[in-house]
């Protein structure tokens, strides 16, 4: 929905901006300027013309409403989907959907059994299934047309028009906060199981006494501690980087549609954009599924390492 009144930079920035609610410079919590065009928050901005609530000034006290809303909605949707399948499950006459779910369940269980050595932990299997299904559901949002949800949220108006909700980013994992939040949850579990299985002393010893023993303690800490936390950080950055790059390509392809109805050459570029969009979407399905699987399997691997005891 890029049009002649928006240049390429404006169009890209619009699609990369989250709907943000946070603490403004006067201490009040509001939506950032220009993000909504209705209600008391909008009236406050209009009445105080000399006052601005800049999204860049919110800092840590900023909530990406679209990321939170879509993530929670998809989590509830996946949970409801699983619940509806299990509620109607039948041993004698399973449905096609139940068979598909059982195949996916067996796939995840096989991956966990091949990777996770301890067999006395009943949390890892459900955690693996939850992570791959939730991440996959969020990744699938990348296949929606980049203009569709912003257009609907904006009151079915073009990007340069200020409708009810001017910004809405549909892909949660293209916002670093969502992958980082999931990785933080995994990091908490890694620390919990490391201390539970090895003791606090054993956990600290792994980060300080390896690989060269107590006589090289400073060197061991320089090697082990950054590496230990880098793996957990990479869990978020890998997912974010791949999906953000994929979303950027979709946005760049969408720029070709801007002059579709304006001229013959514009129509040719538009047709090329459609072909590129279809080709990239087909290829991107592989990336979407692969990144969900990688997030799950690395989660299991890291938790398996948290159960290992080194002597």
Q: How many Å apart are CA 60 and CA 159, to the nearest integer? A: 27
Other beta carbons less than 10 A from residue 256's beta carbon: 20
Interacting residues of 90 by C-beta distance below 8 A, sequence separation 6+: 98
- From residue 115, alpha-carbon distances to 102, 124, 203, 231, 248 in Å are 20, 11, 21, 17, 34
Pseudo-torsion of CA 106, 109, 115, 116, nearest 10°?
A: -160
Q: What is the pTM (predicted TM-score) of this model?
A: 0.86
Q: Which backbone phi and psi does 29 adopt, to 5 degrees?
A: -95, 120
Give the closest residue to 78 by CA, choosing from 5, 164, 140, 8: 140
- Give the full edge-to-edge strand order of the sheet including 20-23: 29-31, 20-23, 62-64
Other beta carbons less than 10 A from residue 266's beta carbon: 15
Give the closest residue to 169 by CA, choosing from 133, 144, 136: 144
Q: Are 121 and 300 in contact (CB under 8 A)?
A: no
CA 18, 19, 25, 28 torsion-angle sign = negative
pLDDT tens, residue order, the chain (311 aa): 344 456 778 888 888 899 999 888 878 888 888 888 877 767 666 666 666 788 888 888 889 999 999 999 999 999 999 999 888 888 888 888 888 888 988 999 999 999 988 877 788 989 999 999 999 999 999 998 888 888 888 887 777 677 788 889 999 999 999 999 999 999 999 999 999 988 898 888 888 887 777 777 788 788 888 888 998 999 999 999 999 999 999 988 888 776 555 555 666 776 777 788 888 889 989 999 999 999 999 999 999 998 887 65
Q: Tell me, rounded to whole angstroms, the distance of Cα 298 from its chain centroid.
A: 16
Give the closest residue to 70 by CA, choosing from 20, 141, 131, 12: 141
């Amino acid at each position: 929905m890029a049009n002649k009144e928006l240049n390429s930079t404006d169009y890209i920035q619009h699609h990369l901006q989250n709907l943000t609610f946070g603490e403004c410079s006067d201490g009040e919590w509001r939506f950032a300027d220009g993000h909504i065009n209705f209600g008391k928050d909008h009236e406050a901005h209009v009445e105080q013309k000399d006052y601005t609530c800049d999204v860049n000034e919110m800092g840590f006290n900023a909530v990406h409403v679209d990321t939170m809303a879509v993530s929670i909605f998809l989590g509830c949707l996946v949970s409801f989907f699983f619940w509806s399948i299990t509620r109607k499950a039948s041993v004698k006459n399973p449905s096609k959907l139940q068979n598909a779910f059982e195949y996916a369940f067996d796939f995840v269980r096989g991956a966990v059994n091949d990777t996770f050595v301890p067999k006395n932990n009943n949390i890892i299997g459900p955690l693996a299934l939850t992570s791959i299904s939730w991440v996959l559901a969020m990744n699938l949002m990348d296949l929606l047309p980049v203009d569709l949800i912003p257009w609907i949220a904006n009151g079915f108006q073009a990007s340069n028009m200020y409708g009810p909700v001017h910004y809405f980013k549909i892909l949660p994992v293209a916002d670093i906060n969502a992958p980082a939040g999931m990785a933080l949850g995994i990091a908490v579990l890694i620390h919990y199981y490391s201390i539970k299985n090895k003791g606090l002393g054993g956990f600290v010893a792994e980060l300080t006494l390896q690989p060269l023993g107590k006589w090289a303690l400073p060197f061991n800490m320089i090697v082990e501690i950054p590496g230990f936390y880098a793996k957990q950080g990479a869990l978020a950055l890998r997912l974010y980087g791949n999906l953000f790059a994929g979303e950027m390509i979709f946005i760049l392809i969408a720029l070709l549609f801007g002059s579709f109805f304006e001229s013959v050459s514009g129509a040719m570029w538009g047709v090329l954009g459609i072909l590129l969009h279809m080709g990239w979407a087909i290829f991107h399905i592989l990336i979407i599924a692969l990144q969900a699987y990688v997030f799950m399997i690395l989660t299991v691997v890291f938790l398996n390492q948290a159960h290992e005891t080194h002597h």
